[in-house]
Amino acid sequence: MSSRRRWAATAATAVLTVGLLTHPGASAAAPPSAPATAPEIALDPGQSALIRFRLPDEAAFQQLVASGADVATRPRTTDGQVMADVVVTSAELAALTRRGAVAVQVIQTEADGARRLAEGRRSARLAGEDTLQFLQAYWWTSNGRTFLQTQVATSASDDPDVEITVTWTTADGTTGSYPLYRFEDSGEYQYHVEVPQRLPAKPVKVSATSSLGGRSRVVTPTAWPNATPPPLPTGYQKDFIDAYMTPIDIRARIQRLGRQYDDLVDVVDLPRRTQGYRRTAAAYLGDPAAAAVVVESVKFGDQGMNGVQVRTVDPGRANRPLGATYRDRVLTVSLATDAGGKVISTTDDVAAFITARYPQRFTAFVEEGSAGVPMPVTGPARLDDGLAGSEVPQRPWTVQALRIGAVRDGSKVGVLAYSQEHAREWATPLVTLEFAERLLANYATDPATRELLNSVEVFVIPTVNPDGANYSFNDYNFQRKNLVNHCTGASRDPALRNSWGVDINRNYTVGSYFDGYVGGSPNCLSGTYAGTGELSEAESNNVIALAKANPHIKYALNVHSYGGYFMWSPGAYKAAGRVTLPRPSIDEAKYFQDSARRIVGAISASRGTVTWPAYTGPVADVLYSAAGNSADQLYYELGIAAWDFEVGNDIWNEDTQQWEGVGFQPPFDEAHAESQEYADGLLELVRIARDSAATTR
């Protein structure tokens, strides 16, 4: 066993710098040996990919979050390295790499693909003695394979070099051991942990030792989650999902369910229509690689502005002022000339002139790097909204919910399931629609379903963010946010189109960026842009409006992907001191944990997917701080027991003996399996609501 376990940056000078923050802690301890041969991960210019990065340390990850990076899942300290999945462009990949991050896995490219880097290295040193305590020791069996996951805390919490080793023993006396890795969050020591370990059989005891000489009690691991859902009766109908579904497909499914089961379901139009799948039209006046002015329509492209042309001309006479005409859908800008007849207008002149002259029709701005240069005679250029989805209606979208139950008058306890706040999470509406249709289809024949729908009302919003989803399906598959562009000035350059939009799950009111919490961004181009203010977006308003209009809703599940998490509040903290939103009471925390085990057990019944115990808990503890997320507003403001799924658990690869990520848009067979197992989880939530209503918790 290596004593040099603490990972150090591959180059002693490698420091991850994000935004204005520089992390000083990465100045390495021992000089690392040469890295194992590592294939370079590179992207074609302009390409994006979902990449698992190895960061110098936990603090580097916190800086990534704070800078608004498009972080897909929480970091995982495994094998001594802080791993984080981030969607990056080729340029961002290069920038992160320069700052010391190492790309280790292309989980998904815009097309597809996966590569992996070799392991890093470690170092460590020794100090005094400590005491060790197991926080978690759970084992489970999945598809005939046994796993063990442990968390251990050392009393030497301030010593970053403490190494902890866990030793396990099975009933036949087989033993083995593995290292844990230190987990810090926002600069505070939490515990030591490692991903679940594959064991030959059920462990009957575990113990831990530390490099300081500390020794834990011998502990008997507990079965996880140790909860089994009721068996489904023969003839139970399921599997209503046969393909990924676009917002148009989802709307059609909602209408069909409303017609087919009209005595059990109402289709609810949510109050705020979204912008729709629409963008303003824009064109480069000039060569974007040299000097250009961006001319943009004030109205959306579909409102008669796609195809409008813009050009500059030389008036051919001396001493002419800047002028313009707009005629027959052609904007002609006549450039100014000097006494010798030479064109003297600059890019700034032209941009300011167009904006001032046609405030109802056009805005114009100078492209980054083109300020103050001579305006060329150019064009005509054609304005276009750049949207490729020809089948998508270009008008405001009415977001819909299904209201399901035998009695839909607010007298029964309500459960809300909502999905696709994040556009690219294509598997998530499949989960909520499968869940809804199972309830509806089995009511007539399954007594247990009938009993549920007689005592509970279920609300389902399959796609909270249809505009972003349409963009994800038609234009840019990694689109996370909505389609509303709040950027100003040069940030409106069409080259940045895939970075516009508001992160709906950072736009709510409790623990928000605007309140000083971590994990939302003020940068309109950030993956976690929080919007212009709390609830600035129609999409977030709709979720809250539905919950407020139905105060009998006491349970909610916000379905995201991917990573395999089951979480609840608090979901955010402030950076200084890592002060979280208030913790649930002891009783409530126990209720959440007990309920979570039931739901995790239900999910596992489908194909053996076991959500890790270390990934089951408060968002702020097991994932990251997500300022202004919806579950926190539902919980703290409306008193709803509000949970979050991240569907799409890592899958164990028996050949490589590693856990592998599945991504936002896995092959459909995987998405289908996720829809089935997580619908099982949602059904268990309805049973929990039913049980609690019966006992009036």
The Cα–Cα gap between 191 and 182 comes to 6
Listed in sequence order, the residues at least 6 apart from 616 whose beta carbon sits closer than 8 Å to its beta carbon are: 225, 565, 566, 567, 593, 596, 597, 600, 622
Supply the angle between the helices 427-442 and 668-695 in degrees, to the nearest 10. Answer: 50
Least Å distance, CB 680 to Zn ion, is 20
Footprint on residues 110-169 left by Zn ion (CB under 5 A): none
Pick the piece of the chain touching Zn ion (CB under 5 A) from 121-129, 211-219, 292-300, 416-424: 416-424
Pick the piece of the chain touching Zn ion (CB under 5 A) from 138-146, 217-225, 414-422, 489-497: 414-422
| Paired residues of 433 in beta bridges | none
Closest alpha carbon to 432 in 410, 413, 459, 451? 459
Least Å distance, CB 677 to Zn ion, is 18
Least Å distance, CB 49 to Zn ion, is 18
The Cα–Cα gap between 79 and 102 comes to 15
Pick the piece of the chain touching Zn ion (CB under 5 A) from 422-430, 524-532, 667-675, 677-685: 422-430
Look up residue 71 and give its DSSP letter.
Answer: B
The Cα–Cα gap between 682 and 600 comes to 10
Given the complex with Zn ion, which of 418 and 500 has the nearer CB atom?
A: 418
E strand map for 239-357: 265-269, 280-286, 292-300, 309-313, 323-327, 330-334
Footprint on residues 657-696 left by Zn ion (CB under 5 A): none
Least Å distance, CB 492 to Zn ion, is 26
Closest alpha carbon to 309 in 212, 355, 378, 370? 378
> How many residues contact Zn ion, by CB under 5 A?
2
The Cα–Cα gap between 183 and 164 comes to 12
CA 35 and chain centroid, separation: 31
Given the complex with Zn ion, which of 138 and 565 has the nearer CB atom?
A: 565
E strand map for 385-536: 400-404, 413-419, 456-461
Side-chain half-sphere CA neighbours of 697 within 13 A? 17
Given the complex with Zn ion, which of 211 and 630 has the nearer CB atom?
A: 630
Given the complex with Zn ion, which of 10 and 419 has the nearer CB atom?
A: 419
Least Å distance, CB 302 to Zn ion, is 28
Least Å distance, CB 647 to Zn ion, is 10
Regarding 238 and contact with Zn ion (CB under 5 A), the answer is: no
Footprint on residues 526-565 left by Zn ion (CB under 5 A): 560
Given the complex with Zn ion, which of 87 and 366 has the nearer CB atom?
A: 87
Pick the piece of the chain touching Zn ion (CB under 5 A) from 52-60, 343-351, 419-427, 513-521: 419-427
Least Å distance, CB 561 to Zn ion, is 7
Given the complex with Zn ion, which of 62 and 505 has the nearer CB atom?
A: 505
- Write the burial class of residue 237 (CB in 10 Å: 0-12 exposed, 13-18 middle, 19+ buried): middle
Given the complex with Zn ion, which of 185 and 421 has the nearer CB atom?
A: 421
Least Å distance, CB 424 to Zn ion, is 8
Least Å distance, CB 271 to Zn ion, is 23
Footprint on residues 244-263 left by Zn ion (CB under 5 A): none
Listed in sequence order, the residues at least 6 apart from 203 whose beta carbon sits closer than 8 Å to its beta carbon are: 139, 146, 148, 168, 169, 170, 221
Least Å distance, CB 472 to Zn ion, is 12
Footprint on residues 476-535 left by Zn ion (CB under 5 A): none
Given the complex with Zn ion, which of 459 and 478 has the nearer CB atom?
A: 478
Contact 147, 196 (CB under 8 A): yes
Longest dimension (CA), the chain: 99
Specify the amino acid at residue 40: E
Which of 52, 238, 422, 506 is in the footprint of Zn ion by CB under 5 A? 422
Given the complex with Zn ion, which of 54 and 422 has the nearer CB atom?
A: 422
Given the complex with Zn ion, which of 297 and 507 has the nearer CB atom?
A: 507
The Cα–Cα gap between 523 and 518 comes to 14
Contact 93, 176 (CB under 8 A): no
Pick the piece of the chain touching Zn ion (CB under 5 A) from 168-176, 293-301, 421-429, 542-550: 421-429
Least Å distance, CB 479 to Zn ion, is 12
The Cα–Cα gap between 63 and 69 comes to 9
Least Å distance, CB 692 to Zn ion, is 27
Given the complex with Zn ion, which of 52 and 422 has the nearer CB atom?
A: 422
Binding mask 618-657 for Zn ion (x = CB under 5 A): ----------------------------------------
The Cα–Cα gap between 673 and 683 comes to 16
Given the complex with Zn ion, which of 58 and 644 has the nearer CB atom?
A: 644
Residues that bind Zn ion (CB under 5 A): 422, 560
